[in-house]
Amino acid sequence: MTMARRELVQKYIGSSIGLMWAVVYPLFMITILWIVFGVGFKAVPARGVPFVVFLTAGLSSWYLFSDIVSGSTGVVMEHGELIKKMPFPSQILPVIKTIVGMVNHAIFIIILIGLIAFHRLPANLYYIQALYYLLALFVLALGLSWLCASLTPFFRDVEHFIAIILQVGMWYTPVFWDLSMLPEKFHIYFIYNPMFYIVQGYRDSFIYFKPFWAYPQQTIVFWGIAVTLLAVGGLSFKRLKHHFPDVL
């Protein structure tokens, strides 16, 4: 927590509005994407939900996932001096990125609830269900972060590769569009995208009020992928961390 607090302060220190950037950036992203897709392309999601609400619900979860994974990929390189000079539990470094990412995520959720209230959409106790999907996101992101962070010191191209994968993944995941826009025969290809499960879950929690157990097949597939990544990532980090000082 101390390292996360220090990183958060350093991220905004020296700027004229400081932590207000954590509010400005999500608002700017939502506004630009809403203008491009909602106003420019006249995007209208299924079931009559205002596009800006639909977009913000999906973007909030995707942005947190992308922020954690992209920030964690080079985290061993970023703290190389610390790792080389003293015994240090370097496996906590991706966890620090997760804690820091929660600040922007909290802002996204506040904006989302504000937009829901502005458009007079109903509120519901299903909002609490988002905590389940947040936990699912942490498990998925942490496993992938451990794996990427452990490989980057040995293969520097991993950082660039992950940046490309995240860009492609954002379009492969229904962040800006609804799966119902595609013929049903193509839906099977998205079940194996774990972030589809989480993005859909955020919308079900804040907009459509559907329980997570309504998708048993997707739930099994998601947790199979997430737990496997967590185990592989944790094992990879554990085995390679002792060699970090040699390559940094």
Domain segments of the chain as ranges:
2-247
pLDDT above 70 for 46: no
Q: Following DSSP, what letter does each residue of 154-170 receive, concatenated?
A: T-THHHHHHHHHHHHHH
Q: Please state at what angle helix 194-203 crosses helix 130-151, rounded to 10 degrees.
A: 150
- At 26, the pLDDT band (50, 70, 90 cuts) reads confident
This prediction has a pTM of 0.89
pLDDT grade, residue 230 (50/70/90)?
A: very high
Give the mean pLDDT of the chain: 87
> Which tokens in the block code for residue 74?
């080079």
Q: What is the pLDDT of residue 186?
A: 82
**Alpha-carbon gap, residue 194 to 90, rounded angstroms:** 26
The CA-CA-CA angle for residues 230, 91, 132, to 5°, reads 45
Which secondary structure element, helix H or strand E, spans residue 104, and what is its range? helix 93-118
* Closest CA relative to residue 147, chosen from 247, 75, 50, 245: 75
Least confident of 25-29, 49-53, 224-228: 25-29
Task: Look at residue 31 and tell me whether its pLDDT is greater than 70.
Answer: yes
Residue carrying the six token digits 């609804």: 178
At residue 43, the pLDDT reads 65
Residue pointed to by tokens 């496996």:
91
Separation of alpha carbons 204 and 129, rounded Å? 9
* Buried/exposed 31-70: b ≥16 CB within 10 Å, e otherwise: eebbeebbeeeebebeeebbbbbbbbbbbbbbbbbbbbbb
Task: Give percent of the chain with pLDDT exceeding 70.
Answer: 93
Q: What is the pLDDT of residues 157-212, one digit of tens each?
A: 999 999 999 999 988 898 888 887 778 888 888 878 999 999 999 999 999 999 99
Looking at residue 121, what DSSP letter applies?
Answer: P
**Are the C-beta atoms of residues 235 and 91 closer than 8 Å to each other?**
no
pLDDT in tens, 93-151: 999 989 888 888 998 899 999 999 998 999 899 999 999 999 999 999 999 999 999 99
Give the mean model confidence (pLDDT) for residues 211-219: 92
* Distance, C-alpha 170 to centroid of its chain: 10
Tell me what pLDDT residue 138 has: 96
